[in-house]
Structure 1
């Protein structure tokens, strides 16, 4: 019975903690530094997925780019390449305080490299080809195309449809979103969050290659496609 508690106004994994009970959640959000009352800071509480798909006993999530070029009619572009972000510590649901085991955010895992110099930051990411190769090596080569990808695409559309009437529709503008997904052991896909300003820096060998391509292709869609 694990719940993940996030401060709504922060990014890069800052201030996130895992809790097991409502009493722990209320105590943390009420007495957290900088939060003198429940109304002084907004929080997001999500059910934690306790049975994530593991690779080499490590938890991971998927960063997927989505480009919205029009809200009416809704026009959504799904980038062909995504990448995996790994936690560098072995997954352990009994220990809730190990951020390097539960949070796959790159900013968090860079701290793990500083704490344990034997770990390399490039170990914290895989490109899509590496993931497909792992699925093939475990006898599950069809899982990506038949199970995971259709869920990623459906959820990507449903999520922006939910917000379609809440956002200002400015013709001629586009926005690139970074979706974070998690896969459980039954290959069900769960949406963790959507980032309106995804990190596009070349932080690892994987993002150095993919972020440049994505930004280049974003311009091709926005300018050349029309």
Structure 2
């Protein structure tokens, strides 16, 4: 359970019983994680938690349960679960590289061509900065491999860890001398056809140490993961190491102008769509499934965005009260889009803080200022880093729950 405070009261189902889908008095849910999502589910009006082998309508599971039980679980028409069966095609680092059509020989050619450049090595199935290191010479990798082999022998390991190498961005965009990356949230409710939503909120994660290439061994200088930064000697838990993405967008606009920042965010939009399209044919689509992805984007000093990785289980553990509140709203709106209560028409372009950016094709804004963009210009229906007036939008959009009395 989170140490941060939720708002509102827990909703109770009428008599604690469940009926058929139409007119159901409550939604039965299970949750395999103990963090912010547990708080959000317990605050959901007329949702009730079931334990052990109880029947459920909605399951926020961990990937371990998915691997072991998904193929052996019968799901009714209305049931929803928070992962696609082979979500790892996009989120495992090595498979993402494969699906984006990269080749090993290209790495060797590029490494030889970029003599003296810095590269970063990451384990394909780990997160939170674990196992990551930087290198400049191939012999550094050879030495690391020898050390790794000795450790495996001592553990009598039968499984060899796979790694992926990436060219390290040596010219990151810096603010106050510090490196940062963006965590952005994309919700996919279908792959066939592809239907994807972009959340307006997100955050920039900063390092605690000013950036320099003079030392490639300082993890507090190079890795933006909060799990890494919070162990830094000078880390301040009150201030944290994050900016809300609205704050970052205002900063960039003030420094570089609106037009350049609009171009930057359009390029980020393209990263989302192209990466999802790259796995569209290999993901096992299932009407019971949805996926909340956490995208990590890095900007270089030319304001070019780079895709670092995609997370299928983005951390919902908050680092501050502000972070907790943002993640609660994100998860509440995820449930609103999934719509277990049957309150949506299916034609919405916005639900809370989510904007529909792709629905078997690009989705365009309805509120385009023609004086700004021109009458012949189509603008994507994305508002990353813009005002998130989700409460007002939800009041206008959502009908009362079918089993709630109007006040």
Give TM-score, length-normalised by structure 1: 0.90
Match of residue 174, structure 2, among 42, 54, 57: 54
Take 1:66 and 1:29, find their aligned partners in 2: how far apart are those partners? 36
* Structure holding more strand per residue: 1
Take 2:228 and 2:120, find their aligned partners in 1: how far apart are those partners? 15
For residue 73 of structure 1, what is the aligned residue in structure 2? 193
Match of residue 277, structure 2, among 122, 139, 161: 161
CA deviations on 1:89-135 (whole Å, 9 max, x unpaired) are: 000111001100100001001111xx225x44634100022112322
After the TM superposition, which of the residue ranges 44-53 and 20-29 deviates more from structure 2?
20-29
After the TM superposition, which of the residue ranges 57-66 and 158-167 deviates more from structure 2?
158-167
Q: Kindly tell me: are residues 121 and 69 of structure 1, through their superposed partners in 2, closer, same or farther at Cα, counting changes over 3 Å?
A: same
Take 1:126 and 1:101, find their aligned partners in 2: how far apart are those partners? 17
Q: Kindly tell me: are residues 220 and 15 of structure 1, through their superposed partners in 2, closer, same or farther at Cα, counting changes over 3 Å?
A: same
RMSD (Å), alpha carbons: 1.9
Instruction: Describe how 1:178-197 pairs up with structure 2 within 5 A.
Output: 178-197=294-313
Match of residue 234, structure 2, among 98, 112, 116: 116
Match of residue 163, structure 2, among 17, 37, 43: 43
8 Å contact kept, 2:183–2:294: yes
Take 2:238 and 2:248, find their aligned partners in 1: how far apart are those partners? 17
For residue 208 of structure 1, what is the aligned residue in structure 2? 324
C-alpha deviation, 1:35, in angstroms: 4.4
- Partner SS state of residue 190, structure 2: strand
CA deviations on 1:68-101 (whole Å, 9 max, x unpaired) are: 1001001111111221000010001110011001
8 Å contact kept, 1:122–1:206: no
Alignment: residue pair count: 221
For residue 138 of structure 1, what is the aligned residue in structure 2? 255
- Partner SS state of residue 161, structure 1: helix
Could you list the runs of 5+ residues in structure 1 that have no partner in the other structure? none
C-alpha deviation, 1:181, in angstroms: 0.2
Take 2:193 and 2:185, find their aligned partners in 1: how far apart are those partners? 20
